[in-house]
């Protein structure tokens, strides 16, 4: 099995290493563009091999994080049910808590 080609992409704030033309093409409509290999001060997306968490690191520190299980990866995208592959058919409205009943206490007359 041949490995997929990788692409460096940027959203203007960070870069990500994307595997395969399909993944690259999925990111283009979301504002990502092709990029060169990043320089030392650029933030790069990385993912941990065990817990699969993703975070951005300065590219200059990538070699320090690799022995700890981190490697360059595609970006973590915001969760949006309407941008999902299968968007939710119905979004349940947020119900507001019932407003408290008006106070039944009457003001007491002051004798004086």
40-96 confidence digits (pLDDT tens): 889 999 999 999 999 999 999 999 999 999 999 999 876 555 555 555 554 555 666
* Per-residue confidence (pLDDT) for residue 110, from 0 to 100: 56
Q: How far is CA 77 from CA 55, 57, 73, 74, in A?
A: 11, 16, 12, 9
Number of H helices, E strands in the chain: 2, 6
Section 100-109 average pLDDT: 59
Question: For strand 70-72 and strand 43-48, is the pairing parallel, antiparallel, or unpaired?
Answer: antiparallel
pTM > 0.95 = no
Q: Where are the domains of the chain?
A: 6-72
């Amino acid at each position: 099995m041949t490995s997929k080609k990788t692409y460096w992409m940027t959203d203007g704030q960070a870069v990500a290493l994307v595997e395969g033309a399909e993944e690259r093409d999925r990111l283009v409509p979301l504002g990502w563009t092709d990029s060169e290999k990043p320089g030392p001060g650029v933030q790069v997306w990385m993912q941990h091999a065990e817990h699969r968490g993703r975070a951005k690191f300065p590219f200059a520190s990538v070699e320090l994080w690799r022995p700890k299980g981190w490697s360059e990866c595609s970006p973590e995208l915001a969760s949006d049910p309407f941008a999902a592959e299968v968007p939710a058919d119905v979004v349940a409205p947020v119900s507001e808590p019932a407003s408290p009943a008006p106070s039944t206490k009457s003001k007491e007359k002051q004798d004086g």
